[in-house]
Amino acid sequence: MRTSCHDGGPSPADLLQAEEVLATGEQVIQVALAGQPNVGKSTIFNMLTGLNQHVGNWPGKTVERKVGFYRHNGRLYRLTDLPGTYSLTANSEEERIARDFILRERPDVVVAVVDAAILERSLYLLSELLMLPQPVVLALNMVDVARQRGLEIEPHVLEAALGIPVVPMVASRGQGVRELMDAVEAVATEGLPCPPNRPTIREDHQAVLREIAALIQGAVPPPYPEDWAALKLLEGDEEVTALVRSHLAPEQWEEVHRLLMQHEDAALAVAGARYDWIRRMVRAAVVQPRAGRITQTDRLDRVATHPVWGLLLLLLALGALFWVTYTLGAPVQAWLDAVVVQGTAAWIRQTLASAPEWLVGFLADGVLGGAGMVVTFLPILAIFFTALGFLEDTGYMARAAYVMDRFMHFMGLHGKSFLPLFLGFGCNVPAVMGARIVDTPKARLLTVLLAPLVPCTARMAVLAVLAPIFFGGSATLVSWGLVALNLLVLVVLGTVVHELVLGGEHVAFIMELPLYHTPNWRTIGLSVWQRLLAFLEKAGTIILVVSVVVWVLSYFPSGDIQASYLASAGRGLAAVGRLMGLRWEFMVALLTSFVAKENTIATLGILFGVGEAGEGLAGALRGVLPPAAALAYLATQMLFIPCAATTAAIRQETGSWRWTLVSLGLLLAVSLGTGVAMYQVARLLGWGV
């Protein structure tokens, strides 16, 4: 049975309508969607809101915020997707955001999404949500997967035990979505019929909890409930501890602190009590599976998480992805460039034939150069994001992270950093933005700093054009060598930065391996769409601006690039260039690659006096550089500072200009240093000069 997702189906018109209604002051029911990671929360969000959603960041945070609207029985609902968290103790930014939203914004209803197949574990978040004052509806998702695992759950029994509405769902197939909307409506309009069952703490800790509650009475600022704050103190919640401390007289705080020190094990006891409560809640409602049942996940994981087979499978998956990207994406990219971008450029030149030369150059080279680069990149990114969405949605990505964990540890990272770094092969911008899934700030920073060393498709394109010109038949060998060099530098730099700059701190690796799922194309499609949109919004505008700026520098003051500001800058770098056997033109080409890596080729074309790339460029460049210098140049190009869009992403994700400049400086030093070292070593050996 298939239930339609909501009245009328999603369309941009709905969103418009929603905003208009907001302007007229119609009452909007606020709903928050909470759940642990991997429970199908996004699928439910997408089913309810469709394209009627906006993806942004939580104010001042690099955590994604999704807000959407839907209508049900004539009422308007505003749905906020809270970050996926395992608990509500302020261990991470995500957890702080989730609980602050519920406490401060006071949504009319909180929907707690749980995975029926791992009911006990995913109810843990519910046990915390029930301690907050807002009413909760339980979305019991993936009942089909639970059934396959031999787990039968009776929703009505669970409902009676918990005292809140329980809606069984298979969100990926749209089942239960309407029932969920009905349940939310009932709670929003009529409230809960009776107070829900709340977890209690064990006997041995109840006395101390009461003592703490009495001590902090009147010292907990709203919106935090006092009994909840007392419990969080006992759990060692840093945020609540700091809050209460600042509101208590020092001698009272001393007393609280003394009690807390006596009960240092309380965090474990509180969590244990919640799980005991969950056991009692589900006991009557669940028929447990027979032990030792071999599931599909078991069978797949025998290969996917194996240190040898898992690695081979991962290499195979990555190989397939690159193959698709280059056989499908590259021709489309080339076609877009040749027909759409060059066509438009030609059209501009023709139409504005009588306009001043600088205006034509500004539009055709500056503006179109940037915009064209963005447009031609979309197909490759679309392929990458689709593959990524597929691997994430099936549950495989967690296995890839697990298999890669042992390698990532060398550089102070753990498995979770593999995903963003891997994304870098497509484009460094989503790689940098993807680093937010890494859970500790230091490891996140390191991932961001290392991401630009992953050779992106743009750099690979440059390599594909220049390597054959310089090295003819050995081009493939040289290319592989340079890619390997990039990854080697990544590992070495990662290890060094981890040890020297970040203090060599051990990073904890704790990650859930979700059950495998049949992918939901709607979820994947929406994630591709949102990621492309984010790329366009963030990278697109920056590429355009920088492209125009660089064009201005390459055109003025005289209109001749050889005498431009850019050329002066290149000549300034000529001293470094000489150390690796390069003329100033190559240094300028490196500089322009800051806009977009492919600009290198166009710049070389202009500086060596060929109009368009291709045979002309090959002819002009052949013999200009001895092999050692050519190799040094290509290595520097591959390792050079990230493009403008990536730099902007680094600034945004680190929230710090200092780290952005550190990143640029580091890569500048590493790339030039490598180039010089390669050339000088080759010279000493008397090879290829």
Partner 1 sequence: MNVGTELPLSALRPGERALVRRVSGGRGIVGRLASLGFTPGVEVTMIQNFGRGPLIVEVRGARIALGRREAARVWVQPAVVPSEV
Comparing CB distances to partner 1, the nearer of 128 and 598 is 128
The answer to whether residue 259 forms part of the interface with partner 1 (CB under 8 A) is: no
Contact pick of 196, 225, 236, 627 for partner 1 (by CB under 8 A)? 236
The answer to whether residue 228 forms part of the interface with partner 1 (CB under 8 A) is: no
Residue 519's contacts (CB-CB under 8 Å, 6 or more residues apart) are 390, 393, 394
Contact pick of 46, 52, 87, 564 for partner 1 (by CB under 8 A)? 87
The answer to whether residue 249 forms part of the interface with partner 1 (CB under 8 A) is: no
What does the alpha-carbon distance between residue 610 and residue 604 come to, in Å, rounded to a whole number? 8
Comparing CB distances to partner 1, the nearer of 419 and 458 is 419
Residue 499 CB, nearest distance to partner 1 (Å)? 17
Using CB under 8 A as the criterion, what x/- string covers residues 379-408 for binding partner 1?
-------------------x--xx--xx--
Residue 411 CB, nearest distance to partner 1 (Å)? 15
What backbone phi and psi angles, to 5 degrees, belong to 249?
-65, 145
What does the alpha-carbon distance between residue 369 and residue 548 come to, in Å, rounded to a whole number? 8
What does the alpha-carbon distance between residue 678 and residue 582 come to, in Å, rounded to a whole number? 13
- Tokens 């791992």 found at: 118
Residue 161 CB, nearest distance to partner 1 (Å)? 18
Count of residues that bind partner 1 according to CB under 8 A: 40
Comparing CB distances to partner 1, the nearer of 303 and 339 is 303
The answer to whether residue 267 forms part of the interface with partner 1 (CB under 8 A) is: yes
The answer to whether residue 120 forms part of the interface with partner 1 (CB under 8 A) is: yes
**Residues 282-301, interacting with partner 1 (CB under 8 A):** 297, 301
**How many C-beta neighbours within 10 Å does residue 290 have?**
6
Q: Does residue 83 have a cis peptide bond before it, meaning omega lies within 30 degrees of 0?
A: no
The CA angle 541-545-546, to the nearest 5 degrees, is: 120
Q: Which of 155, 150, 188, 149 is nearest to 169 (CA)?
A: 155
Residue 71's contacts (CB-CB under 8 Å, 6 or more residues apart) are 6, 7, 8, 14, 18, 77
Residue 91 CB, nearest distance to partner 1 (Å)? 6
Residue 253 CB, nearest distance to partner 1 (Å)? 18
The answer to whether residue 442 forms part of the interface with partner 1 (CB under 8 A) is: no
Q: Which range in 41-49, 118-126, 530-538, 653-661 contacts partner 1 by CB under 8 A?
A: 118-126
Q: Three-state SS for 187?
A: helix
Q: Which of 531, 381, 529 is nearest to 458 (CA)?
A: 381
Q: Where are the alpha helices (DSSP H) in 191-295?
A: 203-215, 226-234, 238-247, 250-262, 266-283
Q: Which of 547, 530, 590 is nearest to 373 (CA)?
A: 547
**Residues 406-425, interacting with partner 1 (CB under 8 A):** 406, 409, 414-415
Residue 264 CB, nearest distance to partner 1 (Å)? 8
Comparing CB distances to partner 1, the nearer of 146 and 171 is 146
Q: Which range in 207-215, 268-276, 484-492, 648-656 contacts partner 1 by CB under 8 A?
A: 268-276
The answer to whether residue 131 forms part of the interface with partner 1 (CB under 8 A) is: no
Give yes or no for a contact between 188 and 109, defined as CB atoms under 8 angstroms apart: yes
CA separation (Å) from 162 to 144, 158, 167, 274, 387? 22, 6, 13, 13, 40
Contact pick of 33, 119, 313, 433 for partner 1 (by CB under 8 A)? 119
The answer to whether residue 197 forms part of the interface with partner 1 (CB under 8 A) is: no
Contact pick of 69, 86, 470, 633 for partner 1 (by CB under 8 A)? 86
The answer to whether residue 152 forms part of the interface with partner 1 (CB under 8 A) is: no
Q: Which residues pair with 57 in a beta bridge?
A: 64
Sign of CA dihedral 153, 159, 162, 164: positive
Residue 396 CB, nearest distance to partner 1 (Å)? 13
- Interaction site with partner 1 (CB under 8 A): 86-87, 89, 91, 117-121, 124, 235-236, 264-265, 267-268, 271-272, 275, 297, 301, 305, 307, 398, 401-402, 405-406, 409, 414-415, 506, 508-515
